[in-house]
């Protein structure tokens, strides 16, 4: 059993480890394309991301896909930056604490799969048809 009296909040390395486990668990047809995406862990989303998404509270954004979905890529279009999946540690920890009914691993996996689904070209509505996470 975890000694909560002496436990520290999970750091970025732990969130990254859980995320990489989730990526490794993707079906084989998604594993190759997923390996081409950069994974970044930060405490909070940047002001630029928050402004672009019109989000006031940084604790409302647990993850973000920043790139061009595979369904929209063209071999002739130059890509100036790598596709990136961002995970925001403090927002993830806040949601984990407020839910109280999921493990940190489950929550990180959910965020990872959601953001990679955007890389594969799925919309939020598409994702919602198979992932009823909020229920």
User: pLDDT of the chain along its 135 residues, tens only?
Assistant: 778 788 889 999 999 999 999 999 888 888 888 888 999 999 999 999 999 999 999 999 999 999 888 888 777 777 767 899 999 999 999 999 999 899 999 999 999 988 998 888 887 787 777 666 555
Distance CA 34, CA 23 (A): 7
The span from the CA of 120 to the CA of 34, in Å, is 9
Architecture of domain 12-69+81-130: 2-Layer Sandwich (3.30)
Question: pTM value?
Answer: 0.87
Q: How far apart are CA 117 and CA 94, in angstroms?
A: 23
- DSSP state, 36? T
């Amino acid at each position: 059993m975890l000694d909560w009296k002496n436990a520290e909040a999970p750091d970025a390395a732990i969130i990254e480890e859980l995320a990489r486990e989730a990526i490794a668990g993707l079906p084989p047809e998604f594993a190759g394309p997923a390996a081409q995406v950069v994974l970044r862990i930060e405490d909070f989303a940047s002001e630029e991301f928050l402004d672009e998404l019109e989000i006031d509270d940084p604790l409302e954004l647990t993850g973000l896909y920043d790139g061009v979905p595979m369904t929209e890529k063209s071999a002739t279009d130059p890509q100036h930056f790598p596709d990136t999946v961002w995970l925001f540690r403090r927002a993830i920890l806040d949601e984990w604490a407020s839910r109280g009914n999921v493990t940190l691993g489950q929550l990180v996996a959910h965020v990872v799969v959601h953001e990679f689904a955007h890389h594969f070209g799925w919309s939020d509505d598409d994702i919602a048809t198979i992932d009823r996470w909020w229920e």
